[in-house]
Amino acid sequence: MVTFVDQVQVHLQAGRGGNGCVSIRREKFKPLAGPDGGAGGNGGDVVLLADPQITTLLEYHRRPHRSAENGGFGAGDYRAGTTAPELILPVPVGTVVKNAAGETLADLAEPGTRFVAAKGGLGGLGNLALASNKRKAPGFALLGTEGTSGTFTLELKTIADVAFVGYPSAGKSSLIAAMSAAKPKIADYPFTTLHPNLGVVQAGEHRFTVADVPGLIEGASEGKGLGLDFLRHVERCSALLHVLDCATLEPGRDPISDLDIILEELGAYPVPAGQAPLLERPQVIALNKIDVPEARELADFVRPELESRGYRVFEISTVSHEGLRQLGFALAELVEAARAKQLAEATEQPKIVLQPKPVNESGFRIVTEGGSYGTIYRVLGAKPERWVEQTDFKNDEAVGYLADRLQKIGLEDALVKAGAVAGSTVVIGPGAGVVFDWEPTVTSAAEVQMGARGTDHRVDQSSRRTNVERRAEYTRMMDAKAEARAELAREREAGMWSEDS
């Protein structure tokens, strides 16, 4: 039965944004009082959260597919759609997030660190937000956009100050049980430990964490045994403790040969850029099982050679606890030195300066593609691709609005510079995208509608004259009367009629 998983592949899908609403407000004695359609809500994000209460990725091994909720649709009477909540996925502290190409996206090494793995889609605007002085009654709304999705690899790298490394059955689990309150599985057969165990050691005023890394054998750096599955748990440790078995009964094995093989495997394991190689980190040797008389003799024999190599050597017994106190204080010194060095390096790091985006950024680019059916002009960019996704192509007015937006960002001028002519094929977006037959200066069939785009004569039903209109009408009436009197005077002078007749 699987109880510990430190690497999984998950498929995450953010929520889709809700569509905007097309609605007209109705009031007493004024059934068409203007637009009141609300906007749709944003889709939910998928967030990975480093939680110290989580110790394994087992939950995502069983359920690798996770999806956030969609945003609510807008409604009339100015009601906006509900924004979907975030989907919080707790992961162990020390989880590294990688994309499908193997690139590292985030390192959740601190408790509470958040990483938005999939961004929720935007909610579409309702016709209320699209209304303006020139577009008093929009007959369309924007659609919600699709949330992002992707496949991610979650890789857990145990965070501990000291890593216990050594051959199988060297006594690493017994040592962590003797020095801390951890309760690892202990047995007299190889590869008893199938996952790293963490323990907290208190040495005087110093407290640090230790990790019992499963047994390494020759060829571990190439994947032999448990090799690569658990060597990555050594990456974050500040110091290494080599636990050497002085009471082994296997032929051809001794503490010196075991150490040489482990050092070779640690040196062959590649660490991420910016981290010190494993062999360049502080190392201490513990000669274990000296409670056995033959093992104590062997430990006394090999200790001078190990010390000549520059190692600090401690003879210990996990049964009688001999030498454990001295070993704990020695490890605490190494940990405190590593922490002080890390703190000094952190204070010397330069400040991060955020550069603003250029104000003249066009937001799109045009790629010319050749094909058997002629030249294709592909428009790529976050803005035009999002606008196309928000457009309801069944609504001519919405298509006209899209044409206006594309024209404002200079798309027509860019197409002309790229060599496009009337009738050229224009594709917006990657892949199949949305295909148009480009017609310059003609935005859509909505231009032939009665009145300007975005207006509705039914909404503007006010027949009350303004003061300016009253004055103009009075002036026209007085001018007409004066002209009539002048005409009568001319006819009388011409003898066409007289007052007597």
Give the span between the Cα atoms of 453 and 474, in whole angstroms: 34
Say if CB 11 and CB 114 are below 8 A apart. Answer: no
| pTM (two decimals) | 0.66
Residue 318 is predicted with a pLDDT of 86
Q: Is 236 helix (H, G, I), strand (E, B) or coil?
A: coil
Q: Do residues 143 and 390 touch, judged by C-beta distance below 8 A?
A: yes
Rounded-to-integer distance, Cα 63 and Cα 386, Å: 31
Residue 78 phi/psi, 5° resolution?
Answer: 65, 25
Residue list for the binding site for Mg(2+): 173, 193
Q: Which CATH number, 2.60.40.10, 3.40.710.10, 3.40.50.1820, 2.70.210.12, labels domain 7-156?
A: 2.70.210.12
Cα separation, 131 vs 142, whole angstroms: 12
Domain range summary for the chain, segments of one domain joined by +: 7-156, 162-348, 388-459, 465-500
310 φ/ψ sector (left φ>0, alpha ψ -120 to 50, else beta): left
**Beta-strand runs (E) in 401-448:** 425-428, 434-437
| C-alpha closest to that of 111 among 40, 48, 196, 23 | 48
Name the β-bridge partners of 436. Answer: 426
pLDDT of the residue at 1: 38
User: Which residue ranges make up the annotated binding site for GTP?
Assistant: 166-173, 191-195, 212-215, 288-291, 317-319
Instruction: Please determine whether the domains at 7-156 and 162-348 fall in the same fold group of CATH.
Output: no
Task: Specify the pLDDT at position 260.
Answer: 87
For residues 40 and 54, what is the distance between their CA atoms, to the nearest angstrom? 35
Q: What is the pLDDT of residue 258?
A: 84
Within 13 Å of residue 233, how many CA atoms lie on the same side as its CB?
28
Please tell me the distance from the alpha carbon of residue 19 to that of residue 391, in angstroms, as a whole number: 10
Q: How far, in Å, CA of 78 to CA of 129, rounded? A: 10
- Closest by Cα among 293, 283, 246, 236 to 263: 283
Please tell me the CATH code under which domain 162-348 is placed. Answer: 3.40.50.300
Residues annotated within a binding site? 166-173, 191-195, 212-215, 288-291, 317-319
Average pLDDT per run of 10 along the chain, which is 501 residues long? 68 95 86 87 93 84 93 93 95 88 86 90 93 86 93 84 82 83 51 60 84 62 47 78 84 84 81 77 90 89 90 89 90 87 64 50 78 80 90 89 87 86 86 82 44 50 74 90 88 76 54
Q: Which residue has the tokens 């448990």?
A: 226
Least Cα distance to 108 among 171, 50, 182, 172 occurs for: 50
